[in-house]
Structure formats: C-alpha cells, structure tokens
Amino acid sequence: MKKVINSKKAVMIGCGFVGSASVFALMQSGLFTEIVLIDADKNKAEGEAMDISHGIPFASPMKIYAGDYDDVADAAIVVISAGAGQKPGETRLDLVNKNVAIFKSIIPEIAKRNFAGIMLVVANPVDILTQVAIKLSGLPENRVIGSGTVLDSARLRYKLGEHLSVDSRSVHAFIVGEHGDSEVVAWSSANVSGVPLSEMCEMRGHYKYKENTAEIATAVKNSAYEIINKKHATYYGIAMSVKRICEVIMRDEKSILPVSHMIHGVYDIDEVSLSMPAIVGADGIESDIPINLSGEEALKLKESADSLKKIMETIEL
C-alpha cells in the first residue's frame, strides 16, 4: 500500500554547521509548515531555531523550534546530521567509530516513537551510517536514505559546466559508490542534454578528454578536503543537497538521485549501502536505475563496495 505523506513536519537531529545550514535552506523551500531542531546541546538548538525563525517574514509561514525525540512521531522526514565533523587531514571513514556510537544513542530513540516517515542520513561516513541506521531502526530499507553522492554529483556537474561553459543543469553525470575516497565517476554515461560528454568536449574546443576528465575527477574528489583545510567545514553545498532530496520526497517527484541505499545484486554488489541512481519519491527508494558503466568503472565500483563491506563487518551493533 502506498504511504501518503500528510505531515508537513521535518525534524533535524544535530544542529552543527550542516544541520543548521540545512534547516536554513529548508526554511526557504516552503516544503514544511513545521521544522523541529534537536541537539544534545538544547541551548544550541534553541539559538539556531530563534535565529532561523527571524527569516520567516521573508519566506512562508511556519513554526521552527527546538524540541525532543517525541517530535519525530508524526514527522514526514527526520534528517540526521548529528556526529563528529571531519577535521583537516581526516577521511570520512576515520569518523566511523565516533559516529556509530552517536547513532547507537539516536536511532533507538526514533524507533521507540513508531516513526512512519523517511529517515535521511547526512552524517559521515554516510554509507556506513545509512546501513547502521537501517539495522538499528528496524525500518524498511526503502525508507532509510543517505545523502550519498548527491553533493559529489552536483560538484561534478558544476565543474563540467564550468569546463564546457554550459549551464550545469544541462549536465547529466553521476558519481557512484562511496561518498568518499573510493567514489567512482560514471564517465561512460555522462552527457550534456543527450550529447555524449566526449563529443561535447570536442564541440567546445577541448581535445584532451582523458587528461581533462582525470583532472576534474580529482578536483571533485578533493574538494571537501580543500574546503575543510580553508574554512574547517563544508555545509552550504550539502544543505542544498538536503533541500533537494526533501523536495523530491515531499512532492513525490520520482526524480532520479544518486542517494545512498541498500544495494542488492547490482553490478555483483549485495547487502551493502552505497550510492547508485535510484527513483526517489514519497515512499523513499522506489527502484534502482541501471546505469551504464565501463568494465573499469564497474570494477572500481565493486572495489568501493568491498571496502565499505569490510568496515561494516568490524562494527558491532
């Protein structure tokens, strides 16, 4: 039976840079009439709620306030950004044990409230934590989504748009696999409004396709590290990604997004959460979308999945 979202309430768990920036983006979106902020530091949640609320006269009427876990019971979407942030020199996977411990305190609290909406995991390492959230929550797999490579794919589209001097919204390209160092750019299926990327590059006067794409892939992969080195955190890009995922769910858009979710049998990958394009709507994940990968890309994707699987095997739940 199809679940219809009647609630227009979102809950943000974790009010650090990412959580607060995401609530600010959601406040402007008009998707919700109620946004609740929960944080271990209640004063922080109250302060952010007050500050963001003062922008409501320039947006749509809604309530934004600090709350507690009882507020998740009737929410359409619960976003989890709580967790230790990535420090300069640290990889997303270095955060595993710290953030799994935090999730062990958060997810059971949500499960106790018979939460019937969509759980969106944003904290890192997002693929591991999405799988942890599925196991700890007991929710159906389709209703637990990680932000995955939605941001990485946006960074890729932005860079390609710049490189080709075209609107990045006309660029169709995905990063798949881990949201992290083993991520894979699906160059084989990348196109600009249906024109294969290699052809588009030549049309725009770029003839060193391999060198250019390798440079862009490296720049995209390292962009988070570069931002963290310069300003100690990344939050605006992910805030827009959270807004986009919430739009797709709340409007039942059935858009295709590279979100982190449980994979079963795609490209020989099974029982691991990572990003592959999927149709997303009011029910969460509707179905996987087959994406064309070269032999080398498929191999790298399998390696990415295997590295995540090994880490999952070390986690006690």
Where in the sequence numbering do the catalytic residues fall?
Answer: 179
223 is in an annotated binding site: no
Q: What is the DSSP letter of 309?
A: H
Task: Compute the distance between CA of residue 174 and CA of residue 231 in angstroms, rounded to an integer.
Answer: 27
Whether residue 288 is annotated as binding a ligand: the answer is no
Rounded to whole angstroms, the Cα distance separating 66 from 255 reads 31
Q: Is position 49 annotated in a ligand binding site?
A: no
Can you tell me which residue has the tokens 């191999």?
A: 299
99 is in an annotated binding site: yes
**Quick check: helix, strand or coil at residue 118?**
strand
According to the annotation, is 153 in a ligand binding site? yes
End-to-end CA distance of the chain: 31
Residue 180, annotated ligand binder?
Answer: no
The residue among 233, 123, 126, 229 whose CA lies nearest residue 183 is 126
- Strand pairing category for 144-146 and 118-121: parallel
- The answer to whether the annotation marks 96 as part of a ligand binding site is no
Question: Is the separation of the CB atoms in 27 and 64 below 8 Å?
Answer: yes
230 is in an annotated binding site: no
19 labelled binding-site residue? yes
Cis check: omega of the bond before 61, within 30 degrees of 0: no
Q: Are strands 63-66 and 34-38 parallel, antiparallel or unpaired?
A: parallel
Ligand-binding annotation for 147, yes or no, is yes
Q: Is 16 annotated as a binding residue?
A: yes
Binding residues for NAD(+): 14-19, 39, 44, 69, 83-84, 99, 105, 122-124, 147
Binding residues for beta-D-fructose 1,6-bisphosphate: 157, 172
